[in-house]
Amino acid sequence: MSSENSPTCGQILPILKKLEAHLAIKAGDTVFVSNLKKQVWANLSKRYQNDEIRNFLQVATALDPRFKHKLDDDDTIWDQIQINLIEQSTEEGGGADGDTMQSDNEDEQESQQPPCKLLRKTPLEELFAEEEVQNIVSQQSSMSIKTRVERELQIYQEVPPVLMSKDPAAWWWNQQNTYPLLSNLAFSYLCVQASTPSERVFSTAGDTICPERSRILPEKADMIIFLNKNCF
């Protein structure tokens, strides 16, 4: 994972599931191989067992367009995502009346229209373009938060998973117009990295502490260096 360009936390559980399948003992395995598989999986299976962390990783996996269909308990996770989306959208729009929310939606739709104008329109489309835009804006502004959330989740679940080579954050960035609510939640989860470059683990460049670059007290610096050298 440390060699990936974008090791997001959404890929942790799918990788563990794949490793579990690879480390399953087979009939043709020797005693040495069987014991090795047992020891490796015994170490891996103890990780990420905290309920809160596990739940966070499950949501992150669902919001990763590469692994969204690789969950063990789909319904529970999608229900939680829907609840989180409604709460987040309600908090962001809290205190605003209907007119304000409609005007915000209209501004959002207007700001999203220019990319569509790159496509060549027929004379008939150009003639009724303004009316079509007004109809779309009025339909979306009249929908409740719950309806918009359900609609975005339904579309997202029906779309096939993207290739493993794709960057999930870049994918969500390009799909913000399609998922304005869901993309915000996805960014808040996928911004958490799953790993760091392996060379940083063995590098001593980060151990350098100087007065110009740090406000750490000398005794604190000694503690950090001691723990860094003895905890791995």
Helical ranges in 159-197 per DSSP H: 168-174, 180-190
Residues ≥6 apart with Cβ < 8 Å to 218: none
Q: Tell me which residues of the chain have a pLDDT lower than 70.
A: 1-6, 73, 93-121, 133-142, 193-215, 231-232
Q: Each residue of 155-211: pLDDT tens digit?
A: 999 999 999 888 898 999 999 888 989 999 998 888 876 665 555 555 555 556 666
User: Within 13 A of 154's CA, how many CA atoms are on the CB side?
Assistant: 6
Predicted confidence at residue 127, as pLDDT, reads 75
CA distance 183 to 79: 17
Q: Is the dihedral of CA 156, 161, 167, 168 positive or negative?
A: positive
The residue whose two tokens read 């109809």 is: 135
Q: How far apart are CA 174 and CA 159, in angstroms?
A: 14
Q: What is the pLDDT of residue 116?
A: 42
Please give the backbone phi and psi of residue 160, each rounded to the nearest 5 degrees, phi first.
Answer: -60, 150
E strand or H helix at 7? none
pTM, to two decimals? 0.62
User: Helix 180-190 crosses helix 51-62 at what angle (to 10 degrees)?
Assistant: 130
